[in-house]
């Protein structure tokens, strides 16, 4: 299951991790966000233990969204060693996520 990143745990779980983190910024009211939800869950299972895949609900965690300048959702950030190494915006096919993960893990 995809990890739930929050304003409270983001630093420890993402910024201080040496693993690649895939962070899906989403909201319940966002149709495209719901459309890629199952893809995010699949990636979380497939990369379990190798890559940290999770979600940030922008309505509940405004600080992270502001820190990273998230203005449209879904926005997916790829973070490694505390730095954003890649980004996808909008609903995407699973292959696009896999390509980015494989390039950075």
Integer angstrom CA distances of residue 77 from 47, 62, 101:
16, 15, 11
**Catalytic entry in 20, 22, 23, 30:** 30
CB-side neighbour CA atoms (13 Å) of 85: 18
How many CB atoms neighbour CB 69 within 10 A? 7
Concerning whether 33 is annotated as a catalytic residue, the answer is: yes
CA–CA distance, 91 with 75 (Å, rounded to integer): 8
Q: Which residue has the tokens 């319940």?
A: 28
**Catalytic entry in 2, 22, 23, 33:** 33
Concerning whether 1 is annotated as a catalytic residue, the answer is: no
Which residues are known to be catalytic? 30, 33
């Amino acid at each position: 299951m995809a990890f739930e990143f929050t304003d409270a745990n983001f630093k420890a779980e993402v910024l201080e991790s040496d693993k690649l983190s895939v962070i899906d910024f989403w909201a319940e009211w966002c149709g495209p966000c719901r459309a890629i939800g199952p893809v995010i869950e699949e990636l979380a299972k497939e990369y379990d233990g190798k890559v940290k895949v999770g979600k940030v609900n922008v309505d509940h965690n405004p600080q992270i969204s502001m820190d990273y300048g998230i203005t449209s959702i879904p926005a997916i950030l790829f973070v490694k060693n505390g730095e954003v190494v890649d980004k996808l915006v909008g609903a995407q096919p699973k292959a696009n996520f896999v390509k980015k993960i494989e390039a950075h893990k």
